Amino acid sequence: MSRVGKQPIPIPDKTSVNFKDNIVTVKGAKGTLTRNINSVINLNIDKESIVVEIVVKNKNAAALQGLTRSLVANMITGVSRGFERDLIINGIGYRAAVKGNIIVFNLGYSHPIDFVLSEGITAIVDKNNIKLFGIDNELLGQAAASIRRLRPPEPYKGKGIKYAEEHIQRKAGKAGVTG
């Protein structure tokens, strides 16, 4: 059995959860999220908690129970508090600016790069910091990874786009020739 999957998920105030025909819908202060759940899993919903149960026991049922519990917990957190992801731009002349739902990057290439944010994702750029906000954790993580992929940090000077909590392992570079 899954240790994570057995734990109940608390439901905060002003958040409602519906489960019908293997589709779970979570509504909260920040929005609404919907997800399809595997048929071997059932959600037992009370007033203040959700318990993820296995309907059909098979080889992957425990893994699906833990996965489903994590996904539903992230949905509840997203619609009640939301998620945030921070990115840092390092490099001389590297910068970004927000224009509506587009982030314009100047990253040392011969042209600026326009990155279109997905629906439900918002961004704030302050000097060399980019803050991404959204209610869907999966969509937010994909947007942050796509932005980081535009100019990944290099190990010699650390130039590029990195996550705020990421540590770049630095290399020494060429050794000077002494004669």
Q: For the chain, where do the domains classified as CATH 3.90.930.12 start and end?
A: 3-80, 83-163
134 strand-pairing partners = 83
Side-chain half-sphere of 106: how many Cα atoms within 13 Å? Answer: 7
Cα–Cα distance for residue pair 54/74, rounded to 1 Å: 20
* β-pair partners for 132: 85, 123
Is a pLDDT exceeding 90 seen at residue 3? no
Given this model, what pLDDT does residue 105 score?
A: 96
**Residue pointed to by tokens 């202060």:** 29
Q: What does 71-91 look like in DSSP terms, one character per residue?
A: HHHHHHHHHHT-EEEEEEEES
Q: Length of the chain, please?
A: 179
Q: pLDDT class for 2, splitting at 50, 70, 90?
A: low
The second-level CATH assignment, the architecture, of 83-163 is: Alpha-Beta Complex (3.90)
pLDDT in tens, 76-106: 999 999 999 999 999 999 999 999 999 999 9
Task: Report the CATH fold assignment for 3-80.
Answer: Outer Surface Protein A; domain 3 (3.90.930)
**CA–CA dist 77, 96 (Å, integer):** 29
Reported as a single tens digit per residue, the pLDDT across 6-61 is 899 999 999 999 999 999 999 999 999 999 999 999 999 998 999 999 998 888 89
β-strands 160-163, 129-134 pairing: unpaired
Average pLDDT, the chain: 92
